[in-house]
Amino acid sequence: MTIAELHPAVNAALNLTCFVFLVAGRMAIARGDTALHRKRMLTAFVASSVFLVSYLIRFATTGAHKYPGEGWDKYLYLILLFSHMVLAVVLVPLVITSLRRAHRKDFVGHKKIVAFTWPIWAYVSVTGVIVYLMLYHLAPALHG
């Protein structure tokens, strides 16, 4: 397996890692464990940041990848991909604002913004994995 073949799987693993830490961070704050919440959310941020850099490198080196085949699966893929991309762009300032408010100990403001940030971040992370699975595994199985 070449790096070009492995790279998308690494990116999907980074998205999945981010999602796991988002859920774990939410569980920690629900229990009132702010120290653990902070560690888990920063880990989610690092996973997302590494993903973003890795994705940009992959895109710069191999370009866009066209979904092979036609049919219901392509339409579902395009809907998921489009929503993933739009929300990923929206997510960047939300995450930065959320982290900045927490860092400044503005927990009232932090709680208000994460009411939007967390579900969008979770959706973007999960759809990143689904888009990968559809493009590299489902489509070849259905149309290969």
Mean pLDDT by 10 residues, the chain (144 residues): 89 98 98 98 98 95 90 96 98 98 98 98 98 95 85
Q: How far apart are CA 19 and CA 36, in angstroms?
A: 16
> Which pLDDT score is estimated for 69?
85
Q: How far apart are CA 54 and CA 89, in angstroms?
A: 16
> Which pLDDT score is estimated for 3?
85
> Which pLDDT score is estimated for 2?
87
> Which pLDDT score is estimated for 126?
98
> Which pLDDT score is estimated for 110?
98
Mean pLDDT over each residue of the chain, to the nearest integer: 96
**Burial status of residue 11 (CB atoms within 10 A of its CB: 0-12, 13-18, 19 or more):** buried
Structural contact between residues 15 and 129, judged by C-beta atoms closer than 8 angstroms: yes
Tokens in use for 131? 């888009």
